[in-house]
Amino acid sequence: MSSETINTNLEQARCFHASRLPQYRLPFGARPAGSSVDLFFDCAEGITNITLCYTYGLYGFSYHEEPMHRVASSFRYHADLMLPDEACLLFYWFRFNEETEEGIKTFYYGAGWDTRDGEGQIYDCPPRVGADEDKYPYAFQITVHAADFKTPDYMKGSMIYQIFPDRFARDIDFDFDKMVNAAPRSERVYHEDWNEDVDIYGKPETGYLACDFFGGSLLGIAEKLEYIKGLGIDILYLNPIFEARSSHRYDTADYLNVDPILGGTEAFVRLQQKAQTLGIKIILDGVFSHTGADSKYFNKFGRFEGTGAYQSYRDDKESDFRSWYNFYKDEEGNINYDSWWGFPDLPNVNEDDLSYRRFIFGEGGVVKTWLGRGANGLRLDVSDELPDSFIRQMRRTIKSATDGEGMLIGEVWEDASNKCSYGSYRDFMLGNTHDSVMGYTFRHNLLDFLCGYISADIMDTRFEGFRERYPSEAYYCIMNLVSSHDVPRIMTMLSKPEDTDNREIQREFKVSPKDYSRCALLSQMAYAFQIAYIGASCIYYGDEVLMQGYKDPFNRRTYPWNRLTDRQHEALTFVRRLSHLRIDNTCLRTGYYKTLLAEGDVIVFERYLVEGKDFFGKEGSGARKIVFMLNRSSEPKYISVEDSYIETKAELIARPDHPIPIRDNIILGGKDHGVSELSIGGYSVRFLIY
């Protein structure tokens, strides 16, 4: 780094460090255990006693400090930090003394917030990093992951399709009476008409219990696999399919069998076999923090044969499942038990109980049974409510049963690299538990930008922060989503609805005609961003045809087969076309990444290969580089990207209402070649392919 650059930084601040610039931290980002990192700190004349402070650990932390050494420039200080030999989190900051009017005073230089290159700021007190502390002032973070952390290559940059099984497709032999009689429950509501809206009332005697069924089945999914494959899908993620009382099936009744309404276990085998012939892998949703009260394990209502844990406690009988749950009696002698978020239908499981672990991980247990039936991995429901040791055992079990090729995805809504829960940092991104997590942070960041709440530079800064903190093996697998079964659909969110928990209001909400075109274009732009950005691109069923839906259960409506409008058909064509960009070009799946411009309404970045190889050193195919441009504004923008010379062989304007023109030798930026301005239309994206 030149002394001129250092002086410029010091004109703006009397000391400087930026964690995402190689001049200040090298190498970039999360690092393997036992490796080294070079840290540099610039400070103005008169600053003394420059010290590197750091603390590392996970469940417990040790604090250390060491003086930094002056390098050739009188303004630079350096420390060569050997990282811990075990996976952990390491936080660091700088301490120094400076003469003030009040005498010599000690200051601290820690991380900033939403700063472009990870530059920090000066504080009067040291950063706070304790799991239960308010994390201000901020510290710089290095995620120290296991040296052998490896995720399946097919996950990296994959295309995922998420299905809520009851609402995707009935099979051609659907029989309404057969559905009703498959597993009768008095509280259930059955829809004979596939196009009816979801129920929000339930039976009068029970109220709403999420127990309405439309008869979507695994065979129905199997019959639509060609449609799914046409979207470029590599991986199918199914919300729970195990037998349960509710239609969402997060209240598991039998871990080892598919719900009869979905067609039973044989239907899964047939689905898996057909998916395999099409090159589609399957992830199942595993719910292990709790079961259903109406299950063969708890059996509160006595609907299953044998003695469940509830009868065992109530009647003082033996049960193989008694130790899985925690029971107690209140002052009146009523039976109570720990349950998930206080819902009595979802009794919590004690995941440290060894008989429960044997049932989940042992021979003939849940994990090995489903892997043996052809599942390729699991998505863990509420990962942050499972003990780290449980998830580590889950990962080891999956990997050992699949020669390392099985997937484990966690439901984590926040930054998984430094997630705290139950009084501790969690072992989520260190290479011991998950391969990766669901991309709710991706969704939040992208929607904030498309809705106009943040600018492109803030969005990019936040994405760069995640890229810095997540190990690359995990970041290239993160399940980037914009909708799911737990959040409103993107079309609905882009219309900025008033927040309400009133289900009757939610049911009636629809994007207004005057907003529909704008929301549709922004929704498709979000998908284009998913295609271009790092990670796995996940479509929630129906988003490809602009389905709407507010909170649960309206985000779980039935797919509108044979009822698509012309606009929905156009949207579907758009998604299919863009999906093949990623299929055909390695650089969009596993290529390197660089932001070229992030300002106001416009973001421009490139995905590229180096000497024909991707980020992981594997040979790539297709374009050697693709530049992605997005303008969220309705107004055209004229942009230039300095210091970047881009000569394209073809330009794809990815807008559903445009043909695909091909234009040669477009130049974007480049000081040595002159700067030509390129316009990007309102509500549009471009892929510059070469």
Active-site residue, from 119, 234, 345, 411: 411
d(CA 284, CA 295): 19
SS3 215: coil
> What secondary structure does DSSP assign to 641-655, as a single string?
-TT--EE-SEEEE--
Backbone φ and ψ of 330, nearest 5°: -85, -175
Structure tokens at 404: 């390392």
Active-site residue, from 285, 381, 464, 543: 381
Nearest residue to 146 via CA among 338, 428, 442 = 428
Displacement of CA 1 from its chain's centroid (Å)? 36
d(CA 473, CA 32): 11
Residue 412: CA count within 13 A, CB half-sphere: 25
- Catalytic residue at 171? no
What letter does residue 167 receive in the DSSP assignment?
A: G
d(CA 363, CA 443): 38
Nearest residue to 535 via CA among 465, 470, 581, 584 = 470
Q: CB of 370 within 8 A of CB of 364? A: no
Strand partners, 120: 111
Return the amino acid letter for 263.
Answer: G
Residue 122 CB-density burial (10 A; 0-12 exposed, 13-18 middle, 19+ buried): middle
Find where tokens 């719900």 sit.
259
d(CA 343, CA 248): 15
d(CA 557, CA 489): 11
Q: Count other Cβ atoms within 10 Å, centred on residue 275.
A: 22
- Catalytic residue at 411? yes
Residue positions annotated with a catalytic role = 381, 411
